[in-house]
Amino acid sequence: MASRALISVWDKEGIEDLGAALSDMGWEILSTGGTSRRLREAGIEVIDVSEATGHPEVFDGRVKTLHPAVHGGILVRRDREDDMETLEQLGYGTIDLVCVNLYPFEATAARDPPASDAELIEMIDIGGPTMVRSAAKNHSDVIILTGPEQYGPAIAALAESGGDPSGVGLSARRELALSAYQSTSAYDSAVSNELERRFSTRHVPSEIHISSGEGTPLRYGENPHQPASFYPAAGGSHGLGMAVQHGGKPLSFNNYLDLDGALRLARNLMHSCSDHSHGCVVIKHTNPCGAATDESQEAAWNNALASDPESAFGCVIAFTKKVEADTAKAIGDHFFECMIAPGYEQEALDILSEKKNRRMLTLESMEPREDEVRVRQVDGGWLAQVQGPPAVDWDEAECVTERKMDSHDMALARFGSAILSEVKSNAILLVSKSEGGCCTVGVGPGQTSRVEAVRIAARRAGERAEGSMMVSDAFFPFRDGIDSANEIGVVSVVQPGGSVRDQESIDAANEHGMSMLFTGTRLFLH
């Protein structure tokens, strides 16, 4: 009896070659709907699944392969006499290869404008995943193919054995089965996540289902003894998984962490600042050491670097707009690990590439940041929260001091909050207006004492602290932070408020002739 393959795919790339190769090796081919038409158009003899089942496709194709003739042929155990006798009694034949890929649920879910619920539901594949799971379960007897990249190796292996299915050995079958279950797992996760988004009113999901594309091994993790990989989000259309690298050695685990921080900050600036402004962010060890906006991209870079040029050695840089040649010239020989931007002028890329081992990444789909559910693993579980640009209601922010803030101060406060939200707590940020925008002048990240964070920001700012605005991610429990700020020349303070000692801080600000804004929004980043 001839070996039989069942081919039923949405993505029809490569099926003519697969079908022709199997047919030339004497295989019978079962198929359905559009796949069978495509194969016949290529001159390949095909048996309709409905002929094998004795049952027509019904309900617009909702039911076509859900039949014992199909699943009996896939799941029968060839080494069990009773199984084979039962199959013969039923009048069914074995199926030795299953080639299936699934309806494009993720692509439909990602459409803009969004697909209707009814259209999306029709993209939930039933028969496809069922066949994939059946074939993968019985992989010792059945070859399961779920992607065009698998067709060539399978054809080559079968050709070596003269078309005998045994040409695909157990090791290869196991790899194919694993890939098959990974594909159905990712598919189910995509369906679950999208239906949760559409059907549930929860801010965070009731369950977390994470799926990814194939991991890319990294040189090592945070340290040389730690193995590591990067896994792009399955079906993702944005973020680091979509970035294109230009030159340099492969990215490391730490590079990805810093790039993530740089990208979040750049997208914060795109959300909070003028579309006409250039934004630049300089990251070191996941914390910003400098950031700036300016009408000139070169000035934005110069001001961001000036915030802490010492820490910026070996940094990661992000720009919110295409990198210009003048900016690349201004960067010069400055040592940085990576850069990410929506694009590069060719001259800029040529200049930046002159230094060996620099990694420049293009992310064309860089968009202003929006709220999203972000997940972190902890020992024994996961945490999830909604995270996005600073959720400050600026219309409700209150200036609580005798000295008031004007529109320029408010613009600076918005800039400072956009940066501060990505500085590890306890965090203090010193910001100032520049000739063409806003810039950081001192960053005090990740301290157990808020007043110590003030001192660190002050040391890094030096004389540039004079006339600056201090932005805090949480309230001041004592007035010492305000007093310390006054000593270095700070003239205004932005903080959430909410301490039982708020009045002490207000009194201190009034004594020093400072303005103080209460935003009502804490911006911790642990």
What is the set of active-site residues? 137, 285
Closest CA to 411 of 424, 423, 399, 394: 394
Beta strands in 168-230 (DSSP E): 216-217, 229-230
CA atoms within 13 A on the CB side of 253: 13
Type of residue at 86:
T
339 phi and psi, to 5 degrees?
-140, 140
- The number of residues making up the chain comes to 526
Quickly tell me which residue has 């970035």 as its tokens. 243
> What does the alpha-carbon distance between residue 159 and residue 153 come to, in Å, rounded to a whole number?
10
Integer Cα distance of 345 and 343 in angstroms? 7
Question: How far, in whole angstroms, is CA 165 from its chain's centroid?
Answer: 39
Alpha-carbon distance values, 46 to 2, 7, 28, 49, 476 (Å): 14, 10, 7, 9, 76
Provide the β-strand partners of residue 8: 100
Enter the DSSP assignment of 457: H
**Is residue 432 within 8 Å of residue 464, measured between CB atoms?**
yes
Query: Helix, strand, coil % (nearest 5) of the chain?
Result: 40, 20, 40
Question: Residue 422: which region, alpha, beta or left (left: phi > 0; alpha: psi -120 to 50)?
Answer: alpha
* Cβ neighbours around 380 below 10 Å, total: 5
Contact between 213 and 241 under an 8 Å Cβ cutoff? The reply is yes
CB 501 within 8 A of CB 481: no
| Count of C-beta atoms within a 10 Å radius of residue 331 | 22
Would you give the end-to-end CA distance of the chain in angstroms? Answer: 65
Tell me the CA distances in angstroms from 373 to 44, 238, 406, 483, one per residue in order: 48, 15, 35, 38
Residue type, 23: S
Distances (CA, A) of 341 to 256, 318, 323, 364, 367: 14, 6, 7, 8, 11
